[in-house]
Structure 1
Amino acid sequence: MLSLIAAASAFAVAAALSGTAGAAEPSPSEGSQRYVVTGPKTAAQRSQVASTGAAIDAVRGGAVEVSAIPSEVRAIKRFGFTVRRAPAEPAPGPSASAASYHTFAEMQQEVDSVTAAYPQITRKFVVGKSYEGRDIIGIKISDNVGTDENEPEVLVIANIHARERLTAEQALDYLGQLTKGYGTDSTVTNLVNNREIYLMPMVNPDGQVYDMTSDTQPGRSWRKNRQPNPTSTGTDLNRNFAYKWGCCNGSSTSGASETYRGTGPESATETKVIANFVRSRKVNGKQQLKMFLDIHSYSELVLWPFGFTYNDTVPGALDADQEAAHRKIGQEMAAINGFRPEQSSDLYITDGTTDDWTWGDQRIFSYTFELGGNSFYPPPSAIEREIARSRGALLKLTDYADCPYRAIGKQDQYCAA
């Protein structure tokens, strides 16, 4: 692992080369395009790419796939890496890819249908409103769903990046697992009886609607929310949380960038809604949420904190047992879905992310799944296959909410009544 001093030095150089720190904003007309970057092999080199403000979409086959505006492409080239345009998304064919994914309205209809069919164990609620006024929908799943019981809680969110449509399908499938399996599957029944599970299938509804209302197939490849910023449109919600916000060259100050961090922590409407919900789960000063998952796509990864530093542990924020428990649970989940398990910063440096905040600020054991599919828009034939891979991993995460330290055999030390 690199030291914090070395990392800070590298990022200072990166900022000077990329011009993302204090430089003039690129024109909003500098549209983001997708590219393949060859040359970055290590976390430090991938972090150089990310330091330009480019969004790293996937890491595979010895290359990094990014979404970047022209100024970011120029900065990546100054690091000595090769950049070429990515191939266009394949044509969806007669069965349009977009038609196979839930629209925002269809998601609401499905949630309404499920909660009507399983009223004893599900409850729909509105977490808050998006910037454009859409409902951010939540579902609570538990045996006594109308009562706030003294049970460990789990929060799963999806579709924080609009174009990552498979993530909402995974979340809705998880809802189906928990409801259809209740009373017939002993594992599911036990979890629903002994947990309070909160699910938010589309936390960026404005971006999702915009992405799906494209004249071209399969979509607009829109990532951010739809809130205007000083020079363009949209904030990257997954760079806008109030823990180490903008600390470490893991996001951009450019409003045109895909990783624009916002004007300040929680400046994006949807970020504030999510964070307020998490804060609301503190009862008598104690956080009831014990496990958190943010579902993304498409690199086939299981990630855990921290993203802002290469260090495995951070004094006062992530000690050896906390890191070991995170790592062990991550490895167990990855053994189920076949993904690669690693600390978030082993991929590249980020700041202001969901799971850095949920752990760093709220001490909720936190994970990100990067689903598979080789695209933001997998063809219809791939959807069921890809979501099936993580069904067991989601149940594993839910199971560990009673005591994550069970994973390292220290439940008596940390979780004794």
Structure 2
Amino acid sequence: MKGLIRGLSLIVLLFVLGFSSNKMEVWVYFTDPDELFSKMGELFGELDICTVQQSDEGEYYLVLNTTKEQFEKIQKLGFKTKVTYEDIAEKFYEMAGSRDPQILRDFGYFYTYWEMRDTLQTLANSFPQISRFYSAGNSYQGLPMVAFKISDNPMVDEMEPAVCFNGATHAREPMGTTLCIDYIKYLLTNYGVDSLVTWFVNNREIYFIPVMNPDGYRYNSDSGGATSNIRKNRHLYSGQSSSTAGVDLNRNYGYKWGYDNVGSSPTVTSDAYRGPSRFSEPETQNARDFFLPKKIRTQIDYHSYGAYNLCVWGYSGSAEPIPDSVTVWEILDSMRAKNGFSAARTGPIYRVLYAANGTSIEWEMKDTLHNGVPKFVTYAFSIETDQTDFWDGYNNYTVIQNNINQCRPVNIYFTKIAGVFFDNLQPVVADTALGNGTGQLDPNETSHLWMRIRNRAIHPLDSAYNITATLVSLDTQIVVQTGTATFPKIYRKSTGNNSASRFVIHCSRNATPGSAKQMRLILTFKDDTCTITQGINFSLTIGNNPVGISEAEERKGIQTIKISKNPARGLIQFEFAKKPVSDGVFCIFDASGRLVKRFEGLAQRIVWNGTDQTNMKVESGVYFYTYRSSDGFKKGKFVLIAE
């Protein structure tokens, strides 16, 4: 993500004559970002900054690819420095294990531009029903910016919630390209196999641009190998040479473009040259025009390196509050939980990395106008991959696999939160009215059931409304008696429930206490203009208080219960030999085992007027009673003659 080799002539010739990059790797130590920016001033905007790291002693330092002249200027400012490589090419040779330019051309385990293009074309041919390979526009030199879409109707813009991933905005950062292609392969090969992936493909529009900078990326391979170390695109401006050509595409976007000369540079030979005007480059114009007609909710721009989770702002640390900051920090915390990056490397670009203006995520996140029309706000973030160099992993696939393991879970998370996605389902057994009131489903019990569910969407657009639900039992011992319900509108990041519109279920008397019974909740709802269906599997654990009287045994020595009349007409009294203990529960059941009435907080005498839990009169017939308490269980049978 960070820099351009100055004074570099044709790489093939240099390999013949003896390679020299004219740049060294240097560490520059500092204590406070504001002090760093103030002390360096506009020199900071001229530097090729690779990353920011922290030493074992807790000191922060910039990793720079710098010329001898720049290094001398830094030393004169009084910074503590350390030269780690006199020639940065030596660092790459160590990683690659070769100096052969023909070997170095292939990017090792990383994809060249041509390999990326051919890989995605092959995948699109193999999965034509759910993928689309196309161009998002041409680069300055006429190369396609390859785009890839995954959806169940890839040729149709269904306006489903959308998410986007991209890489290689800076030409020397191939890890982002690799991570995009990994996630593409994961989604395609698991469609119809993994239920979550299948749901993603059916209910999201998932976009990728694995190489945002085709010309610079191609130059790094075709000019003789990754030692070219080109950062910018290849748009040659007046005053530039072949080795200094181009614009830093991540300083060329429209929001706060050219804010100052610290976060970007007006100098054409600088590695952070921002271009003559906002969106001056075909590549950033293509990105802008790609985003504008879409409602992309979430976005990850992959860069290298240093293991950072980054959000806005980069142009300033104090000029503007982070929009919807609570949500942004929730997302950052979730990213960190999934990829394991440190808290110190998670946060706004300006604060945890360095000053940068005209960046992609700032334009994507801001509701600026384009031709008088407000741009859709995208919750955009950057990930700086976990490497020790831009090309770390070239000859060591373990580095690549580690980054896949860190970033694929984040990609899955961003796909989830790109629209309404329900999870954290909590079933609530409400058995007071129909069952025995234990709060769990017991054998032979009929009960109401309702659910708490959480909408994980983060965009304000993504409230779920018109929610209907169907309950399905996946176990023959659970019978759904009332299987449809409705939920109220559930806003983003919020929880809702159907306690006002409940299901009714019945558990078999033969169900084993403690066993888990599988069920499925099927939700159909509106998200923006789309109708979406989502199924959620869950389980209910069967309780150990069987309803009815046939399963329980009376404990010897428990007090007696006297019935006033049996048969009884209208009213019936139950009198205990002594006052029941405080946890005693007295229940009346009909002949089918259905709970009719429940009494708690018992007095020594109970009077029942022949009504159920809803105060409706019951019919004449045979009834049973049970008394449960910490000191035992008592049961009995009686006949009621209803009036």
Q: TM class by shorter-chain length?
A: 0.7 to 0.9
**2:22 & 2:288 partners in 1: Cα distance?**
28
Q: CA deviation at 1:255?
A: 1.3
Q: What CA deviation, in whole Å up to 9, does each residue of 1:140-170 have, x standing for no partner?
A: 1111212211311112111010111111111
Task: Name which of 397, 402, 408 aligns with 2:419.
Answer: 402
Aligned positions of 1:85-164 closer than 5 A: 85-87=83-85, 88-89=90-91, 90-93=94-97, 98-164=107-173
The answer as to whether partners of 1:162 and 1:205 remain within 8 angstroms in 2 is yes
Per the TM alignment, residue 79 of structure 1 is displaced from its structure 2 partner at its CA by 3.4
The structure 1 residue matched to 2:299, chosen from 292, 295, 312, is: 292
- Structure 2 Cα separation of the partners of residues 409 and 271 of structure 1: 24
SS of corresponding position for 1:255 = coil
CA RMSD of aligned residues (A): 2.7
CA contact (8 A) 2:127 2:188 kept: yes
Cα distance, 1:68 vs structure 2: 3.4
Q: What residue identity is the alignment partner of 1:328?
A: E
Deviation at 1:179, TM superposition (A): 0.7
Instruction: Name the residue aligned to 1:12.
Output: none
Alignment CA distance shift 1:323-1:75 (3 Å): farther
SS in 2 for 1:295: strand
| Counterparts in 2 of 1:312 and 1:46: CA distance versus 1, 3 Å | same
Separation in structure 1 between the aligned mates of residue 287 and residue 185 of structure 2, nearest angstrom: 23
Q: Distance in 2 between matches of 1:75 and 1:194?
A: 55
Q: Give 1 or 2: higher helix fraction.
A: 1
Are 1:54 and 2:67 counterparts? no
Q: Where do 5+ consecutive residues of structure 1 fail to align? A: 1-26, 282-287
Question: Which residue pairs with 2:512 in the alignment?
Answer: none
Residue 40 (structure 1) aligned with residue 30 (structure 2): yes
* Contact map agreement 1:313 1:323 (CA 8 A) in 2: no
Alignment check: 8 A CA contact 1:163 1:219 kept: no
Q: What is the CA deviation profile of residues 279-315 of structure 1, one whole-angstrom value per residue up to 9, with x for unaligned ones?
A: 232xxxxxx111111100111011011111213953x
Q: Which residue of 2 aligns with 1:308?
A: 315
TM-score (norm 1): 0.83
Q: Distance in 2 between matches of 1:67 and 1:210?
A: 19
Partner of 1:231: 239
> Per-residue deviation at 1:139?
0.6
CA distance in 2 between partners of 1:98 and 1:154 (Å): 28
Point out the structure with max Rg over C-alpha.
Answer: 2
Separation in 2, partners of 1:222, 1:275: 23
Question: Offset of 1:55 from its aligned partner?
Answer: 2.9
Residue 374, structure 1, aligned to residue 388, structure 2: yes
SS in 2 for 1:145: coil
Q: Is the 8 A contact 1:181 1:189 kept in 2?
A: yes
**1:342 has 2:340 as partner:** no
Gaps of 5+ in 2: 1-5, 10-20, 369-374, 422-454, 464-489, 494-526, 529-643
Change (3 A) 1:400 1:388: same
Where is the strand percentage greater, Structure 1 or Structure 2? 2
Alignment partner, residue 67 of structure 1: 65
Question: 1:246-325 alignment to 2 at 5 Å?
Answer: 246-248=258-260, 249-281=262-294, 288-311=295-318, 314=321, 318-319=322-323, 322-325=324-327
Aligned to 1:391: 408
Is the Cα–Cα contact under 8 Å of residues 297 and 459 in structure 2 kept in the other structure? Answer: no
Of structures 1 and 2, the one scoring higher in RCO (CA 8 A, sep 6+) is 1
The correspondence for 2:228, drawn from 216, 220, 237, is 220
Would the aligned equivalents of 1:32 and 1:67 in 2 still touch at CA under 8 Å? no
Out of 375-384 and 148-157, give the one that drifted further.
375-384
SS in 2 for 1:187: helix
Q: Is the 8 A contact 1:156 1:294 kept in 2?
A: yes
Alignment of 1:2-41 (within 5 A): 33-41=23-31
Change (3 A) 1:28 1:38: closer
Aligned-partner SS, 1:98: coil
* 2:378 alignment partner in structure 1: 364
Whether 1:201 and 2:210 are equivalent positions in the alignment is: yes
Contact 1:104 1:209 in 2 (8 A): yes
- Taking only the aligned residue pairs, the percentage that are identical comes to 28
Does structure 2 conserve the Cα–Cα contact (< 8 Å) formed by 1:162 and 1:223? yes
Aligned length: 379
Distance of 1:79 and 1:177 partners within structure 2: 49
The question of whether the paired residues in 2 share the 8 Å contact of 1:52 and 1:72 is answered with no
The TM-score with structure 2 as length reference comes to 0.55
Seen in structure 2, the aligned counterparts of structure 1 residues 325 and 407 have a Cα distance that, compared at 3 Å, is farther
Which letter does structure 2 place at the counterpart of 1:270? Answer: E
SS in 2 for 1:100: coil
Cα distance change on mapping 1:106 and 1:313 into 2, 3 Å: same
Deviates more, 1:333-342 or 1:202-211: 333-342
Preserved CA contact (<8 Å) 1:28 1:256: no
Query: Aligned partners of 2:72 and 2:288: how far apart in 1?
Result: 35
The Cα of 1:403 is off from its aligned counterpart by 5.6
